[in-house]
Amino acid sequence: PRVLTNGGSTLAYNLYTSNARNQVWGDGTGGSQTVTSNFIALLNLDQTTTVYGRIPAGQNVPPGSYSDTILVTVIF
């Protein structure tokens, strides 16, 4: 799982490739799955990929702003 942080507090979460949230979005290792889209770049089209997230219930953390940094690699 990924981790959101706020000072010393952490909140587990994960990102998924579908709204069923049964396939972890990642680099293809450790059971994760990559997202691949094919389109013709020369046509100047926008490409949108929806990513779904889930924060499991039952995590006892103080309220506040939690953040994380996600690295996305785009190969074209």
d(CA 21, CA 63): 25
pLDDT of 55 reads 96
Which is more confidently placed, 36 or 68? Answer: 68
pLDDT of 57 reads 96
| pLDDT at 42 exceeding the cut of 70 | no
Q: Give the full edge-to-edge strand order of the sheet including 9-16.
A: 2-6, 9-16, 52-54
Provide the whole-model pTM.
0.81
**Burial degree of 25 (CB within 10 A; 0-12, 13-18, 19+):** buried
